[in-house]
Structure 1
Amino acid sequence: MRQKRRGKRQMSKSGALDLASGVGGKLQKKQVNKYYDLVTSFYEYGWGESFHFAARWKGESLRESIKRHEHFLALQLGLKPGQKVLDVGYGIGGPLREIARFSGASITGINNNKYQITRGKELNRVAEVDETCNYVKADFMKMPFSDNTFDAIFAIEATCHAPDAVDCYKEIYRVLKPGQCFAAYEWCITDSFDPLNQEHQRIKGEVELGNGLPDIRSMGQCLEALKVAGFEIIWEEDVAVNSPLPWYLPLDKNQFSLASFRVIASGRFITRNMVKTLEFLGLAPEGSQRVQSFLEQAADALVEGGRKGIFSPMYFFLVQKPHS
């Protein structure tokens, strides 16, 4: 659905649910959770277990690029067996499992959605990593861990959901051991974004609305927030810039790919009608059609933002907590 002109401030996750489900008035927590339960199912159906983008080489499959994206992060952190690692906002744990198998590290994921935790635990069992990987249900803005707990921390397109970047990074700083590193991929607007351009504002607003985001931060704002939190910057770069294939290609409905069939135009059409039928028969939860439509429009906004170069989901940084 299209976002109304931005005379009002862009909506929160609860506001997004209000639009997606047509529920008026104050929303209950269970309604918000129901919406994200549905969103998770659609993400997994269309995208697989890893809910993120990746730089991609010609001749490389989408799944191969996603794995390489995750391995790159693990290598930058120098993860190895015996380390205690935290994944901030892990979704259903696709990257967590891949990085655990790749590095041998023991990884804890923190997430505040019950359905995603249940699904993640089942996938851990199937992948036989349930002895080295576990999940904690909690808000990553206020984590139930002692100071200086983890040997390394990573986040993949998750901390962009934080209402305040400084507070989020400070909490990550607190639970990270001195001398150790935090690495992440962040969703950011680029220097090409013009806040006075109405088209840019519309695209940004639809990306925020369709993905349950607060105001998308610039790369400079993220960098400054990391410094305020106390981190030392090792290196940072928008890795989307040097991607041979556009990062948004899997969402482009004008492209055809068997690997991303479910998110291109023909796949969307089939999925849309399948969801409509399943909901009519009572085999899919109420509201599934609305969520499907909502996510299609969010995908289109991401493609627009990528084409115009005003948005990137892959601002990468590697930072270190000082030794003392």
Structure 2
Amino acid sequence: MQIEGFCYFYVFWFVCVLGPAEQKGKRAVHLSGGSISAEKVQDKYNQYWSFFRRPKEIETADKVPAFVDTFYNLVTDIYEWGWGQSFHFSPAIPGKSHRDATRLHEEMVADLLGVTPGHRVLDAGCGVGGPMRAIAAHSGANVVGITINEYQVNRARIHNKKAKLDTQCDVVCGNFLQMPFDENSFDGAYSIEATCHAPKLEEVYGEIFRVLKPGSLYVSYEWVTTELYRGDDPEHVEIIQGIERGDALPGLRSYDQIAKIAREVGFEVVEERDLAKPPANPWWSRLKMGRIAYWRNHILIMSEGVILGIFTPMHMILLQKTGEEDSGFCLESWCSSAAVEIMEPTEVQVESQSWAMSSYRPVFQVPQV
């Protein structure tokens, strides 16, 4: 069976064969097709698989949102059961659990944005809201998330209420290419491994630029091919296409496209780094651990790309919307006040109650766990 066949066999098996979900206490045998009714799950699964057999449709922007919506109906319960409420990667931190490393990775977003209580922050592509809750709890800011998937909206609201953050976190069902928000209405914005689903990055970046207040910051963690990727290498192409098929991506972008696109829509690029590069601890180790291990590698065909160094899910870019009401942002002074040091690559380390990661070296206070 070919590599993509494994991807879809396992999605189908978990969703179509193992039955409906429970709101809590999910086990492997209690997973659902999201908001897809049981009798339609198989048809939707077949539609998703056939999408990649019609390359021209992948290039048609108006078909991509429904395609992504279908994907998350099929896999949201699987992701929550095997991965948790934050559908993204993070570097491993010595002495810290995966949960703590994930939380710290998310809290770094709040510190990069410099948001505080009273600020309104946008989560573009919020999933079931794991990062939203971490950022709201860490910063005190109000976070509004948007996801195209109705089932994820319902799950996020349930989690927000359980975390007693439902007055601080809101979720909207919508397309981040056409957001239902006013211009200049957010004090900051972020996307964590979400804009890779956009058929044209300039469209989602343009929308985020529109809704941000002048002077505000936007940070995104992008899935990209690295400088080692070669489009004329059949092995490289097969690996990247496997990642695209397994994760509902209309097409991975190259690392050197991101800043160019951001500037084209009006952003100023403040900082750009690959947070997955050495000496950061491996982000992919979690693929091999716990109850997720026996199916995750079949859904995310990443291990070969990691070995070759041709793919990263943590290409971080920090952007600012400049304008007449520019906040006068200064990277050096901000780094000083936020305890963030931009420096050459250094070892990842944990120092008493602070931590340092990769060449982009934030130093934060870590709550006792």
Structure number with higher relative contact order (C-alpha < 8 Å, ≥ 6 residues apart): 1
3-state secondary structure, aligned to 2:261: helix
- Can you give the 5+ residue segments of structure 2 that lack an aligned partner in the other structure? 6-42, 58-62, 325-369
CA distance in structure 2 between the aligned counterparts of 1:147 and 1:175, rounded to whole angstroms = 4
Post-superposition shift, 1:245? 2.4
Per-residue deviation, residues 111-162 of structure 1 (Å, max 9, x unmatched) = 1111000010000000000011111111000011111010000000001111
User: Which residue in the other structure is 2:322 paired with?
Assistant: 322
> In structure 2, do the counterparts of structure 1 residues 296 and 134 end up closer, same or farther at CA, with 3 Å as the change threshold?
same
| Residues 48, 70 of structure 2: 8 Å contact kept | no
CA distance in structure 1 between the aligned counterparts of 2:118 and 2:290, rounded to whole angstroms = 39
Post-superposition shift, 1:58? 2.5
State the TM-score, normalizing by the size of structure 2.
Answer: 0.70
User: Which residue in the other structure is 1:305 paired with?
Assistant: 305
One-letter amino acid of the counterpart of residue 290, structure 2: F
User: Which residue in the other structure is 1:100 paired with?
Assistant: 136
Alignment of 1:6-45 (within 5 A): 17-18=45-46, 33=69, 35-45=71-81
| Residues 45, 74 of structure 2: 8 Å contact kept | no
3-state secondary structure, aligned to 2:207: helix
CA distance in structure 1 between the aligned counterparts of 2:322 and 2:70, rounded to whole angstroms = 41
143, 154, 158: which is aligned to 2:179?
A: 143
- Can you give the 5+ residue segments of structure 1 that lack an aligned partner in the other structure? 5-14, 253-259, 269-294
Per-residue deviation, residues 41-85 of structure 1 (Å, max 9, x unmatched) = 000111100000001223321111101100111101111100011
CA distance in structure 2 between the aligned counterparts of 1:81 and 1:127, rounded to whole angstroms = 18
Alignment of 1:186-197 (within 5 A): 186-197=222-233
Aligned sequence identity (%): 39
3-state secondary structure, aligned to 1:264: helix
| Residues 188, 313 of structure 1: 8 Å contact kept | yes
Alignment of 1:237-252 (within 5 A): 237-252=273-288
CA distance in structure 2 between the aligned counterparts of 1:33 and 1:168, rounded to whole angstroms = 16
User: Which residue in the other structure is 2:360 paired with?
Assistant: none
State the TM-score, normalizing by the size of structure 1.
Answer: 0.80
Aligned positions, number: 277
One-letter amino acid of the counterpart of residue 303, structure 2: V
| Residues 56, 243 of structure 1: 8 Å contact kept | no
CA distance in structure 1 between the aligned counterparts of 2:67 and 2:125, rounded to whole angstroms = 20
User: Which residue in the other structure is 2:162 paired with?
Assistant: 126
One-letter amino acid of the counterpart of residue 320, structure 1: Q
| Residues 92, 117 of structure 1: 8 Å contact kept | yes
CA distance in structure 1 between the aligned counterparts of 2:66 and 2:178, rounded to whole angstroms = 21
Alignment of 1:131-280 (within 5 A): 131-252=167-288, 260-265=289-294, 268=295
User: Which residue in the other structure is 1:11 paired with?
Assistant: none
> In structure 2, do the counterparts of structure 1 residues 226 and 16 end up closer, same or farther at CA, with 3 Å as the change threshold?
farther
3-state secondary structure, aligned to 2:253: coil
150, 157, 182: which is aligned to 1:114?
A: 150
